[in-house]
């Protein structure tokens, strides 16, 4: 309960902060449309030469892109800014200020930043997804919707855990910040296409090493009839595992942290 | 002339020593960059296989070679970013650089050129791994290899000029992030970074013939992995030279106009 209240307070501060810079909204809008445009061009180029890619038709791939943009918006609004700040503070030794506060350290470092304008991508993603679903002509009932929401939630949690573990490497290796963000964005871009088209080793990597498959492909599968019966159970299992693992890595990291000022 | 050479050699040496201290950071950076071409490579190899072996006349082996060489060319295309210019101008760091008896652009070019040497060395094992996995078909002539090695440095200079020009816009206005993103999107499509130019619709190829982008990306890659004729290769190097000179020319003009508007902030 206390955690929720805390999260809500930080959310409010974050939004209030961003509201001071309303031009950023238009800049974000432009950027979202530019990246949507390049994504659509890539898709159009591929379907210029073929009718299906690894069993996925064009509207189905559009659905994948919708989820990809949506999840990207969530990551850029709520996950990446927090992790970026955490990384800087570990390097500068100012994480002391967060760790000494009377709340759980992991919770605190995960909720401090919120970039509200990035939610433009969430809206754009939903619109793209809506258009795709309309083109697919597959009936989407209550069950599919529930599966979709569950898959999205688990995907977001997995990405968060993965990010936290990646960021925690800063406790041991200095000077990684920009490169880690770059590394993550590079790998996340693989989610633009369904992971089923990748060669086995890469697909396994994108499923278990970096959970892009569960964050993007699986939610899209729930809406396009590609979902295998056991996939959601696997997702739940992996989510629990990652949550525990991330907690462990964070703890080890904090124990290794010595601060700079204190 | 002598002191320029001295300056360049020393700056490059410093950059090499500095960057070799952070092999892990450099590798993280390069691995992150490899994801992008691997995605394109897989997508287009899949399309080629679906189409019975080739797409637009290219077999999967060509795509493998194209996107593996892509990784080196992309690294050569990394130069001092417009965001760096933004920071340099907004925070007034430029003031210090202005006091030196040499144009700030020289230190950018020299430092990043030194870094490139580190990048090329670190790239070789990565390229070997990628080659083992994706089996590129690559059998260039000696001329192609020589032209490739000149062309990647030509690409480096053209892109330095382009991004410096873009960065110098910060003399007039802050917050140019959106403009940069737009530039990068155009570049992605018109340079051959997304797909080999031949896969683009005809009209896109026509437009890009009048722009500098493909000479920084498609030309160096294709010089090595394609089957260009000798006149093609020479024409390409000539176009690179034209764009380098044009870039320097415009950079000088914009620099002169911009520096008048520069008012140091901070120090």
The tens digit of pLDDT for each residue in A235-259 reads 999 999 999 999 999 999 998 887 7
Is residue A128 over pLDDT 60? yes
Burial of A126 (0-12, 13-18, 19+ CB in 10 A): middle
Distance between A116 CA and the closest CA of chain B, angstroms: 17
Nearest Cβ partner for B25 among A41, A176, A190: A176
Task: List chain A domain ranges.
Answer: 2-256
Question: Which chain A residues are Cβ-neighbours of B36 within 8 angstroms?
Answer: 186, 189
Is residue A262 over pLDDT 50? no
Q: Which residues of B155-192 are buried (b: 16+ CB within 10 A; e: fewer)?
A: bbbbbbbbbbbbbbbbbeeeebbbebbbbbbbbbbbbb
Here the tokens at position B95 are: 């003031």
Question: Which chain B residues are Cβ-neighbours of A49 within 8 angstroms?
Answer: 47, 51, 55-56, 199
Question: Which chain B residues are Cβ-neighbours of A189 within 8 angstroms?
Answer: 35-36, 39
- Asked casually if ipTM beats, i.e. exceeds, 0.95, the reply is no
Nearest Cβ partner for B50 among A27, A50, A192: A50
Determine the residue of chain B that is closest to A179 in CA distance: B29
DSSP 8-state code for residue A52: E
- Provide the total of helices (H) and of strands (E) in chain B, helices listed first: 12, 0
Here the tokens at position B71 are: 């990784």
| pLDDT tens digit sequence for B54-89 | 888 888 999 999 999 999 999 899 888 888 888 888
Are residues A202 and B29, on separate chains, in Cβ contact within 8 Å?
Answer: no
The most confident of A2-11, A151-160, B173-182, by mean pLDDT: A151-160
Q: Is residue B267 part of a domain?
A: no
What is the rounded average pLDDT for all residues in chain B?
Answer: 88
Residues 6+ apart with CB under 8 A from B79: B108, B112, B156, B159, B160, B163, B164
| pLDDT tens digit sequence for A33-44 | 988 999 999 999
To which residue do tokens 């020479």 refer?
B234
Here the tokens at position A6 are: 């805390």
Q: Is residue B203 part of a domain?
A: yes
| pLDDT tens digit sequence for A189-233 | 888 899 888 888 888 888 888 888 999 999 999 988 888 888 899
B106 within 8 A of B139, measured Cβ to Cβ: no
Q: Is residue B92 part of a domain?
A: yes
Q: What is the domain extent for residue B147?
A: 2-261
To which residue do tokens 């989610």 refer?
A191
Question: Which chain A residues are Cβ-neighbours of B201 within 8 angstroms?
Answer: 48
Distance between B225 CA and the closest CA of chain A, angstroms: 22
What percentage of chain B reaches a pLDDT higher than 70? 98
Q: How many domains does chain B have?
A: 1
Q: How far apart (Å, rounded) are the C-alpha atoms in residues B44 and B33?
A: 18
What is the rounded average pLDDT for all residues in chain A?
Answer: 88
Is residue B155 over pLDDT 90? yes
Here the tokens at position A61 are: 């791939």
What percentage of chain A reaches a pLDDT higher than 70? 97
Q: Is residue B215 part of a domain?
A: yes
Are residues A183 and B32, on separate chains, in Cβ contact within 8 Å?
Answer: yes
Question: Which chain A residues are Cβ-neighbours of B34 within 8 angstroms?
Answer: 186
Whether the model pTM is above 0.90: no
To which residue do tokens 């394609």 refer?
B226
Q: Phi/psi class of residue B232: alpha, beta or left (left: φ > 0; alpha: ψ in -120 to 50)?
A: alpha
Are residues B39 and A193, on separate chains, in Cβ contact within 8 Å?
Answer: yes
Q: How far apart (Å, rounded) are the C-alpha atoms in residues A217 and A46?
A: 18
Residue A190's CB is within 10 A of a number of other CB atoms, namely: 25
Q: Which of residues 228-267 of B touch A (CB under 8 A)?
A: none
Q: Is residue B158 part of a domain?
A: yes
Q: How far apart (Å, rounded) are the C-alpha atoms in residues A110 and A168?
A: 12
B34–A contact, CB cutoff 8 A: yes
């Amino acid at each position: 309960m206390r955690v929720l209240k805390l999260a809500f307070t930080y959310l409010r501060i974050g939004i209030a902060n961003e509201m001071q810079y309303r031009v950023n909204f238009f800049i974000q809008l432009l950027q979202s449309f530019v990246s949507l445009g390049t994504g659509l061009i890539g898709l159009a180029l591929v379907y210029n030469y073929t009718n299906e890619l690894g069993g996925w038709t064009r509207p189905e791939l559009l659905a994948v892109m919708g989820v990809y943009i949506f999840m990207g918006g969530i990551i850029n609004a709520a996950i990446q800014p927090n992790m970026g700040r955490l990384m800087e503070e570990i390097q500068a030794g100012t994480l002391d200020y967060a760790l000494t506060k009377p709340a759980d350290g992991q919770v605190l470092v995960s909720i401090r930043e919120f970039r509200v304008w990035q939610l433009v991508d969430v809206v754009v993603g939903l619109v793209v997804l809506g258009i795709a679903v309309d083109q697919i002509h597959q009936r989407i009932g209550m069950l599919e919707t529930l599966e979709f929401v569950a898959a999205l939630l688990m995907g977001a949690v997995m990405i968060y855990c993965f990010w936290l573990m990646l960021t925690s490497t800063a406790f041991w290796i200095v000077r990684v910040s920009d490169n880690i963000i770059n590394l993550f964005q590079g790998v996340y871009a693989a989610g633009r296409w369904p992971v089923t088209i990748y060669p086995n080793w890469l697909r396994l990597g994108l499923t278990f090493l970096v959970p892009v498959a569960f964050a993007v492909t699986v939610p899209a599968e729930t809406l396009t009839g590609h979902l295998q019966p056991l996939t959601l159970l696997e997702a739940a299992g992996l989510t629990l595992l990652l949550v525990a693992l991330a907690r462990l890595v964070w703890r080890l990291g904090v124990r290794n942290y010595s601060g700079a000022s204190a | 002339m002598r002191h320029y050479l001295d300056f360049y050699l020393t700056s490059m040496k410093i950059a090499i020593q500095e960057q070799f201290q952070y092999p892990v950071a450099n590798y993280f950076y390069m691995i992150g960059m490899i994801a992008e071409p691997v995605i394109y490579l897989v997508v287009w190899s899949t399309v080629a296989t679906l189409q019975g072996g080739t797409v637009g006349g290219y077999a999967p082996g060509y795509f493998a070679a194209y996107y593996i060489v892509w990784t080196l060319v992309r690294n050569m295309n990394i130069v001092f970013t417009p965001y760096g210019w933004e920071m340099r101008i907004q925070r007034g760091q430029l003031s210090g650089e202005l006091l030196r008896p040499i144009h700030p652009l020289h230190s950018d070019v020299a430092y990043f050129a030194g870094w490139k040497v580190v990048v090329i060395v670190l790239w070789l094992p990565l390229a070997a791994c990628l080659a083992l996995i994706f089996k590129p078909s690559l059998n260039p002539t000696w001329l192609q290899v020589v032209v490739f090695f000149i062309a990647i440095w030509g690409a480096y200079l053209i892109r330095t000029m382009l991004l410096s020009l873009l960065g110098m816009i910060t003399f007039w206005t802050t917050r140019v992030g959106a403009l940069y993103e737009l530039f990068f999107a155009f570049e992605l499509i018109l340079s051959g970074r997304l797909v080999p130019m031949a896969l683009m619709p005809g009209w896109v190829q026509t437009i890009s013939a009048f722009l500098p982008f493909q000479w920084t990306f498609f030309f160096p890659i294709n010089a090595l992995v394609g089957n260009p004729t000798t006149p093609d290769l020479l024409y390409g190097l000539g176009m690179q030279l034209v764009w380098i000179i044009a870039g320097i020319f415009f950079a000088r003009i914009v620099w002169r106009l911009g520096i008048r508007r520069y008012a140091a902030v901070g120090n």
